[in-house]
Chains A and B, each alone.
Chain A
Amino acid sequence: MAWVGLCAAALPALVNAQEAEPSFFAARVEPVLDRHCVACHGPEKQKAELRLDTFEQTMRGSDAGEVVKPGDLKSSELFRRITLPDDHEEFMPADGKPPLTADEVRILELWIGSGASATAPLSAFPNAPVLRQPRAVAAPLAPDWRPHRDAIAALERELGVKLAPRSQVATDGLVLRTASAPARCDDATLARLAPVAAFIVEAQLARTRISDAGLATLSTWENLLSLDLTLTAVTSGGLATLAKLPKIETINLTDTAVDDTGLDKLRAAPSLQRLWVFGTKVTDANEAPLRNAW
């Protein structure tokens, strides 16, 4: 899940000191304003002379007057701005910053509509959405590949492989895909990918012609999370080198010649979570500690 619930109890700073329980404003409204508005309407910048970092400032309004009219959504400029079509020039947040979610809009709607109180308790809003916030930004999986796009494209053409962005987050890395022409991919192909290896987080090498020599190359791809070696010529002898990979989480060895000795060597891989050995000589007793159900 990309989202986690934000529990007010876990955030004592939000609790209104005068109340036994937090106010709706402190627990729900303020976090929304903090997340979406305060960067431009707060202590650092005061666009339109508006600050939304405290209750009092919010109620004071902007150079054009009040932005919150208690109990009157239609006349509340703040609410009007956040509910315009997102391509409207008066839409807020401006400049393509992420719009409020439907739940966040609903929180402001409930708050203004019920009189924009500073103290009304959270329990007075039993149907209010639970506030959600994005998980802390994940650590980059790989360096930004974009400055190297020409080199990447050239290698794709030369080698007949695809180096596809894993997502639109440039530090989510690249996926090496060989499914279009697996027979064209061999140990030499992997060696040629050295200049871009740091960007590769996932190597899909099923049915390719790579062998143990290729595994030695792969053992230097330090950002690799996932490796599919299904139906390749790799053997137990080559697997020890993969244990060096600091981040490797999943390895698929289906339909290869590996056996129990190879598995023993992989046990040293520090991050390994999932391993598939269907169609190999690995015996049940030995694979149990590492394998997934099979």
Chain B
Amino acid sequence: MNHDPSAHAHHDLCSDHGGENPTVWDLPQVPPGLKQEWLELETRRHFLGRGAKALGWAGLATILGRTAPNLLAGNASPLGGLGLAPNFAPKAKRAIYLFMAGAPSQFETWDYKPGLADMFDKDLPESVRGGQVLTGMTASQARFPIAPSRYSFSQHGKAGHWVSELFPHTAKIADDLCVIKSLHTEAINHEPAILQITTGNMFPGRPSLGAWLSYGLGAANDELPTFVVMTSKMPVRANVQALSNRLWSSGFLSPEHAAVSLRAGSDPVLYINNPKGVDSGLRRAMIDGVNDLNRQLFERVGDPEINARISQYEMAFRMQTSVPELTDFSNEPQSTWDLYGPKAKEPGTFAYNCLMARRLAERGVLFTQIFLRSWDNHSNLPANIKTLAEDSDQPTYALVTDLKRRGLLDDTVVIWGGEFGRTVYSQGVLRPDNYGRDHHPRCFSMWMAGGGVKPGISFGETDDFSYNIAKDPVHIRDLHATILHLFGIDHNKLSFKFQGLDQKLTGVLPAKVIDGLLA
């Protein structure tokens, strides 16, 4: 715009131009790219702060993460909308991510290893471990005795997937599932691992997958958030790992792309109900007043975060109407309860959350992530995993089935999985009916269904011990690139300039779309 970078070039160190404080332009050691980024922000500030108000708001539509049409009269215009359009025609319009936090064992779920049955309590060959560094939880064990799955497997569907007896319902949708057995990660502990798979990076502060999609694609329904998170009541409390909003944060993207957390019970979104004595008109007047103050502040200091706050007040106001309708299950027919099971009537259960996910999908919500914890079975694995499977198997089957019969599965991708795998050897005492498993990053299993994923296939293979990948490895970066591809997004093109870098979900290391997973 009207800013000339060269005008800064001759400034003395720590000059104070225009009554402002010293800026990045005053520091000779700052790389030019960072200075350019600062300049762009600075230019916005001047333009928005000093220009005509109407012009300033028009400018916001492009600056403010792309759901900025919320702030303008009317709706998203194709003028700005082209920037929101996918790079190519998408297969998926929404995703529902069933996140099994704590890391489910692949041995009892999706990576059938019949050969292990005859190797009970035998030592894992050192050649398989290959000198891998173990966690402090098992590194000092004298032995690494092989623990075969306590649960049996049988083949299901035309796909012939080997499905664990823990999942009798999910077995019925075998032909819809694309089971991936060759996921891998570098992280061996929960927090870095769960950050890596939710945000693409082990360090906190990055936008999560749902936030990236929100930023890239915008909202189909302006009355509800683009990204919703639900945590589930735990049927068993064992080694519970903490969840935090780092996992569904917008990172450096505008805060409106962070997930809204839907809670169980009478107050699904905290603080959106009007207090006693405050009616809708008064609430509207109050929000108008606060927004006006915020706009004045924005004109003075030009910080885009202020506008994110304005848009969030507006979203909260709209949710006062849209959330009660969303969470009112009274119109669900008996067939719904038969499908999802009796627990679906109890707010906060995994079953309830699965039904909610279908209702969110119907209403155009882009990304729904449901967390179910307690899969971190270092001990008592057989009993704990059975309880978790009993809690989640029928609702998982119900969700996929419900989406399918309502014509939503074709453009909704459902993803099931945790943050890493577990060891073939037992942690602690090994008995035929009881054992534990430690963390294992070298391979783990997930499945996807719908939304342009190839149905009824198994992808990738592990060795006889499910310790190392034998065929077709899929790094988390590749998984992310593939999910974005389903949404019509080239993962190399979805970026956001921050700290001098074009930041991407898939980061700077090579990532590839896995063609074999695509329908």
Contacts from A to B (Cβ < 8 Å):
1-3, 102, 145, 149, 152-153, 156-157, 160-169, 172, 174, 177, 179-181, 204, 206, 228, 230, 250, 252, 254, 274, 276, 278-279, 292-294
Contacts of B341 in A (CB 8 A): none
Contacts of B81 in A (CB 8 A): 164-165
Check B88 against A2 for contact (C-beta < 8 Å).
Answer: yes
Distance in Å from the Cβ of B97 to the closest Cβ of chain A?
Answer: 20
Check A162 against B76 for contact (C-beta < 8 Å).
Answer: yes
CA gap between A181 and B76 in the complex, in Å: 13
* Stretch among B124-132, B193-201, B404-412 lining the A interface: B404-412
Question: Which residues from 40 to 59 on chain B have a C-beta closer than 8 Å to any C-beta of chain A?
Answer: none
Check A163 against B221 for contact (C-beta < 8 Å).
Answer: no
Check A169 against B88 for contact (C-beta < 8 Å).
Answer: yes
Contacts of B74 in A (CB 8 A): 156-157
CA gap between A153 and B69 in the complex, in Å: 12
Check B515 against A166 for contact (C-beta < 8 Å).
Answer: no
Say yes or no: is B90 at the interface (Cβ < 8 Å to chain A): yes
Say yes or no: is B364 at the interface (Cβ < 8 Å to chain A): yes
Question: Which residues from 376 to 418 on chain B have a C-beta closer than 8 Å to any C-beta of chain A?
Answer: 404-407, 410
Check A180 against B406 for contact (C-beta < 8 Å).
Answer: no
Contacts of B407 in A (CB 8 A): 228, 230, 250, 252, 254, 274, 276, 278, 292
Say yes or no: is B223 at the interface (Cβ < 8 Å to chain A): yes
Check A164 against B78 for contact (C-beta < 8 Å).
Answer: yes
Check A180 against B223 for contact (C-beta < 8 Å).
Answer: yes
Distance in Å from the Cβ of A163 to the closest Cβ of chain B?
Answer: 6
CA gap between A65 and B86 in the complex, in Å: 43
Contacts of A145 in B (CB 8 A): 78
CA gap between A291 and B410 in the complex, in Å: 14
Contacts of A2 in B (CB 8 A): 88
Say yes or no: is B30 at the interface (Cβ < 8 Å to chain A): no
Whether A181 contacts B88 in the complex (CB less than 8 A), given A162-B76, A164-B76, A165-B78, comes out as: no
Check A276 against B405 for contact (C-beta < 8 Å).
Answer: yes
Contacts of A206 in B (CB 8 A): 362
Check A156 against B77 for contact (C-beta < 8 Å).
Answer: yes
Say yes or no: is B220 at the interface (Cβ < 8 Å to chain A): yes
Check A167 against B79 for contact (C-beta < 8 Å).
Answer: no
A-B complex: 8 closest residue pairs judged by Cβ atoms:
A179-B364, A276-B407, A157-B74, A179-B221, A165-B85, A153-B77, A252-B407, A278-B405
Could you name 15 residue pairs across A and B whose Cβ atoms are closer than 8 Å? A1-B515, A149-B77, A152-B77, A157-B73, A161-B75, A162-B76, A164-B81, A164-B85, A165-B84, A167-B488, A168-B87, A180-B364, A181-B223, A206-B362, A278-B405
Say yes or no: is B89 at the interface (Cβ < 8 Å to chain A): yes
Q: Write the B482-518 contact mask toward A (1 if CB under 8 angstroms, else 0).
A: 0000001000000000000000000000100001001
Question: Which residues from 237 to 253 on chain B have a C-beta closer than 8 Å to any C-beta of chain A?
Answer: none
Say yes or no: is B82 at the interface (Cβ < 8 Å to chain A): yes
Check A177 against B364 for contact (C-beta < 8 Å).
Answer: yes
Check B86 against A167 for contact (C-beta < 8 Å).
Answer: yes
Check B88 against A160 for contact (C-beta < 8 Å).
Answer: no
Whether A1 contacts B518 in the complex (CB less than 8 A), given A153-B79, A157-B75, A276-B406, comes out as: yes
Check B362 against A168 for contact (C-beta < 8 Å).
Answer: no
Whether A278 contacts B75 in the complex (CB less than 8 A), given A2-B88, A165-B81, A179-B221, comes out as: no
Contacts of A102 in B (CB 8 A): 510
Check A230 against B406 for contact (C-beta < 8 Å).
Answer: yes
Check A166 against B89 for contact (C-beta < 8 Å).
Answer: yes
Contacts of A160 in B (CB 8 A): 75
The residue of chain A having its C-beta at the shortest distance from the C-beta of B407 within the complex is A276
Check B406 against A167 for contact (C-beta < 8 Å).
Answer: no
Whether A163 contacts B88 in the complex (CB less than 8 A), given A157-B73, A294-B405, comes out as: no
User: Which of A168, A179, A228 interacts with B363 by CB under 8 Å?
Assistant: A179
Check A293 against B220 for contact (C-beta < 8 Å).
Answer: no
Contacts of A279 in B (CB 8 A): 406
Distance in Å from the Cβ of B519 to the closest Cβ of chain A?
Answer: 8
Whether A180 contacts B221 in the complex (CB less than 8 A), given A145-B78, A276-B406, comes out as: yes
CA gap between A228 and B223 in the complex, in Å: 20
Whether A179 contacts B410 in the complex (CB less than 8 A), given A156-B74, A156-B75, comes out as: no
Contacts of B510 in A (CB 8 A): 102
Say yes or no: is B222 at the interface (Cβ < 8 Å to chain A): yes
CA gap between A2 and B87 in the complex, in Å: 12
Contacts of B76 in A (CB 8 A): 156, 162, 164
Question: Which residues from 81 to 108 on chain B have a C-beta closer than 8 Å to any C-beta of chain A?
Answer: 81-82, 84-90
Distance in Å from the Cβ of B444 to the closest Cβ of chain A?
Answer: 26
Check B404 against A153 for contact (C-beta < 8 Å).
Answer: no
Distance in Å from the Cβ of A73 to the closest Cβ of chain B?
Answer: 19
Contacts of A228 in B (CB 8 A): 407
The residue of chain B having its C-beta at the shortest distance from the C-beta of A170 within the complex is B82
User: Which of B220, B404, B410 interacts with A162 by CB under 8 Å?
Assistant: B220
